[in-house]
């Protein structure tokens, strides 16, 4: 698994300087309790910046001072284009006796090109810290898809940073829970960058870097920048728009295969596989790249409609992989819940995290690196979710504004005094709008569409677990992350394209974090070829006709997949690893949930409205709306996280 980096920087004139090394030692212990106490290279109080690096269960680089050294870097992750970087830096094959360390390569790249260009040239997953002693600046950066996160927090005049959020555990009582961020957790089920659960802490967004200038005074000047235009860095759309279907298919085939080949390395490899296009294609290409049968791993569910194991088994038989099925029951899932705080240092509320954790542990028994198809939906355009919303919004707006307002008022009143009747009427309206989904809160969806004046507001409804998080988190002021930035219905095609991109930027990070953290906890490396830099750049320039055609999304990816597998095996309904939480919350997890949602406890902590939360919980226990499981899961995940961090 990837090393963990952390460190601290302080104003040199401050009294806190003497305890700086102790703070970093506490961070290391919080990340890895079995770590040895690091050795100091300088006496306490003589340096204002300290770095540490952790691999496995020990510190491999002792905590060391960088105050008097030349520019130095801490790097965690993998660089996939080392040879190209060395060539670009002017190093021939015979110039270096041994392959350079990542820190050495990053340092030379930054010295030669500066921070933005150097970061842009790196193809890989990474989090890095770079200390320039001459300029007295600390640079923190994360990769283009945040496969690895990097956090920083300011406590007094000391800045802490780490690639593992657990590093902030020792300082929980000196940090403030951010109620505004908590409201986003309730709405989305995760915390979008740059927000974290602490007001003083930040998470670097994808393709971003932060520069901290230490001028030996009591302050540190901070500036942030972007070295690429997020996942969707735009180049010349016109040139790709002229590609024929065959040329585009060949190009995507080559890029994805190259991305897989560059990630194979020398370790034993396998692949997570459902019955969907993304994971299936990755497994097929991985087998082609390695030239041997690979292990594939899938999750099965006994007697439920979203079990993909039988379809995945047929695909594995066709490919000839060594296939492993892990069938789950409620008891296994309930047991996994207790491991969530150890697996996810930040609150994350996604039901598929449970089977992913179990699958990662199983895969680790056979391989060291597992390949995942995460990201294919997002980078190639999941239009099939958003197009129905666009059409439903057009249907809703065929009603006059007074009629829509009257319907909203009626539904709101009914929802308050008779939830069952309100939900029934909302269900009827959802069918009329053609958005009925038994797994969704149709009351919320219908109200959202009736109130929406633009596609952005309607799209926000689709990914929201609650209509107004402030009802659950009193006093919160939810930050706007861009869903209302002009998605007018008049230019439908452009609006939908923008919304698909924004949806990807909102939904992709938690998907990546879910898989990466589950694998890290199992000491399993994970490779995500859809996050390859060249592939991302190519997909960002694809015209809509290559992404969405004949009411089918990911058109181009389908053409590549059909080269490896028959259509009959691929054109099946996809369910992924999501699970139905409701029955488990009413049975095996009921006592656990009751403890976390205890009314007196909620009132004492003061983060949630106790009566509203208890009402939602009781309605769920009574079987009046399984759609409540997602919003309740968000609250439960925060409560469980709070137990872990507050008791440190």
How many CA atoms are closer than 13 Å to the CA of 220, on its beta-carbon side? 28
Q: Are strands 552-553 and 548-549 parallel, antiparallel or unpaired?
A: antiparallel
Of the candidates 228, 257, 256, 122, the one whose C-alpha atom is nearest the C-alpha of residue 505 is 228
Separation of alpha carbons 125 and 146, rounded Å: 7
* pLDDT on residue 193: 92
In this structure, are residues 607 and 179 in contact, taking their beta carbons and an 8 Å threshold?
yes
Of the candidates 471, 469, 468, 445, the one whose C-alpha atom is nearest the C-alpha of residue 458 is 445
Query: Given the structure tokens 């759609």, which residue do they identify?
Result: 627
**Token digits for 96?**
């270096």
* pLDDT on residue 234: 46
Low-confidence ranges of the chain (pLDDT < 50): 13, 38-46, 57-70, 216, 232-239
* pLDDT on residue 2: 81
- CATH number of the domain at 232-375+510-570, please? 3.40.50.620
Phi-psi region of 239 (alpha: psi -120 to 50; beta: other; left: phi over 0): alpha
Of the candidates 347, 80, 82, 342, the one whose C-alpha atom is nearest the C-alpha of residue 196 is 347
Separation of alpha carbons 31 and 518, rounded Å: 16
- Give yes or no for a cis peptide into 194 (omega within 30° of 0): yes
Question: Which residues contact residue 250 at a Cβ distance below 8 angstroms, ignoring those fewer than 6 apart?
Answer: none
* pLDDT on residue 42: 43
* pLDDT on residue 504: 72
Question: Which residues contact residue 63 at a Cβ distance below 8 angstroms, ignoring those fewer than 6 apart?
Answer: 21, 24, 25, 28, 38, 39, 40, 41, 50, 51, 52
* pLDDT on residue 290: 95
Distance of CA 614 to the CA centre of its chain: 29
Question: Which residues contact residue 217 at a Cβ distance below 8 angstroms, ignoring those fewer than 6 apart?
Answer: 11, 13
Q: Where are the domains of the chain?
A: 4-228, 232-375+510-570, 383-498, 582-646
Q: What is the mean pLDDT of the chain?
A: 83
Instruction: Please give the backbone phi and psi of residue 37, each rounded to the nearest 5 degrees, phi first.
Output: -65, 120
Neighbours of 202 (CB within 10 A): 21
Length of the chain: 648
Of the candidates 474, 463, 491, 465, the one whose C-alpha atom is nearest the C-alpha of residue 482 is 463
For domain 4-228, the CATH superfamily is Aminohydrolase, N-terminal nucleophile (Ntn) domain (3.60.20.10)
* pLDDT on residue 441: 62
In this structure, are residues 189 and 201 in contact, taking their beta carbons and an 8 Å threshold?
no
Q: Do domains 4-228 and 232-375+510-570 have the same CATH topology?
A: no
Instruction: Please give the backbone phi and psi of residue 347, each rounded to the nearest 5 degrees, phi first.
Output: -60, 130
pTM (2 decimals)? Answer: 0.89
Query: Given the structure tokens 């709070």, which residue do they identify?
Result: 642
* pLDDT on residue 574: 62
* pLDDT on residue 617: 94
* pLDDT on residue 237: 43
Query: Given the structure tokens 């890989």, which residue do they identify?
Result: 124
In this structure, are residues 7 and 129 in contact, taking their beta carbons and an 8 Å threshold?
yes
């Amino acid at each position: 698994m990837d090393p963990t980096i952390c460190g601290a920087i302080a104003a040199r004139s401050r009294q806190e300087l003497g305890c700086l090394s102790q703070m970093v030692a506490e961070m290391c212990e919080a990340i890895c309790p079995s770590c040895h106490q690091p050795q100091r290279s300088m006496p306490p109080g003589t340096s204002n910046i300290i770095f540490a690096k952790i691999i496995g269960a020990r510190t491999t680089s002792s905590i060391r001072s960088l105050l008097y050294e030349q520019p130095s870097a801490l790097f965690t992750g993998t660089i996939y284009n080392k040879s190209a970087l060395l060539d670009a830096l002017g190093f021939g094959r015979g110039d270096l006796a041994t392959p350079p360390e990542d820190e050495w390569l990053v340092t030379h790249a930054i010295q030669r090109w500066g921070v933005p260009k150097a970061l842009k040239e790196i193809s890989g997953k990474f989090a890095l810290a770079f200390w320039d002693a001459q300029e007295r600046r600390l640079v923190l950066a994360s990769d283009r898809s945040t496969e690895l996160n990097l956090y920083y927090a300011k406590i007094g005049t000391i800045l802490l940073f780490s690639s593992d959020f657990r590093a902030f555990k020792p300082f929980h009582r000196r940090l403030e829970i951010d109620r505004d961020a908590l409201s986003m957790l309730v709405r989305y089920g995760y915390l979008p960058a740059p927000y974290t659960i602490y007001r003083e802490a930040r998470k670097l967004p994808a393709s971003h870097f932060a520069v901290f200038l230490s001028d030996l005074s009591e302050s540190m000047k901070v500036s942030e920048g972007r070295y690429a235009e997020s996942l969707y860095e735009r180049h010349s759309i016109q040139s790709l728009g002229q590609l024929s279907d065959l040329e585009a298919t060949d190009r995507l085939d080559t890029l994805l295969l190259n991305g897989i080949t560059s990630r194979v390395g020398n370790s034993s490899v396998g692949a997570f596989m459902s019955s969907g296009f993304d994971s299936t294609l990755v497994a097929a290409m991985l087998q082609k790249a390695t030239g041997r049968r690979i292990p594939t791993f899938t999750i099965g569910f006994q007697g439920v409609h979203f079990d993909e194991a039988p379809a995945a088994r047929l695909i594995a038989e066709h490919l000839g992989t060594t296939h492993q099925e892990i069938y789950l029951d409620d008891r296994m899932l309930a047991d996994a819940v207790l491991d969530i705080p150890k697996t996810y240092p930040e609150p994350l509320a996604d039901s598929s995290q449970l089977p992913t954790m179990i699958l990662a542990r199983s895969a680790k028994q056979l391989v060291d690196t597992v390949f995942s198809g995460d990201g294919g939906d997002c980078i190639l355009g999941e239009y099939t979710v958003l197009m129905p919303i666009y059409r439903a919004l057009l249907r809703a707006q065929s009603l006059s504004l007074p009629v829509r307002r009257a319907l909203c008022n009626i539904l709101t009143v009914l929802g308050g005094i008779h939830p069952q009747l309100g939900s029934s009427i909302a269900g009827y309206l959802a069918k009329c709008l053609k958005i009925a989904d038994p797994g969704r809160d149709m009351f919320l969806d219908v109200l959202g569409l009736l109130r929406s004046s633009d596609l952005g507001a309607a799209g926000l409804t689709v990914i929201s677990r609650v209509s107004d998080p402030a009802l659950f988190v009193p006093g919160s002021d939810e930050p706007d992350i861009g869903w209302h930035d002009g998605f007018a219905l008049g230019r439908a095609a452009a609006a939908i394209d923008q919304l698909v991109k924004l949806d990807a930027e909102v939904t992709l990070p938690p998907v990546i974090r879910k898989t990466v953290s589950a694998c890290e906890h199992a000491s399993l490396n994970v490779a995500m070829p859809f996050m390859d830099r060249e592939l991302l750049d190519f997909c960002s320039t694809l015209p809509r006709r290559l992404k969405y055609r004949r009411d089918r999304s990911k058109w181009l990816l389908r053409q590549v997949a059909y080269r490896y597998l028959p259509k009959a095996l691929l054109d099946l309904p996809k369910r992924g690893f999501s699970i139905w939480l409701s029955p488990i919350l009413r049975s095996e997890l009921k006592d656990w949930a009751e403890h976390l949602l205890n009314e007196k406890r909620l009132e004492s902590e003061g983060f949630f409205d106790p009566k509203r939360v208890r009402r939602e919980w009781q309605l769920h226990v009574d079987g009046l709306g399984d759609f409540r499981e997602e919003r309740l899961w968000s609250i439960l995940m925060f409560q469980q996280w709070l137990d872990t961090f507050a008791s440190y």
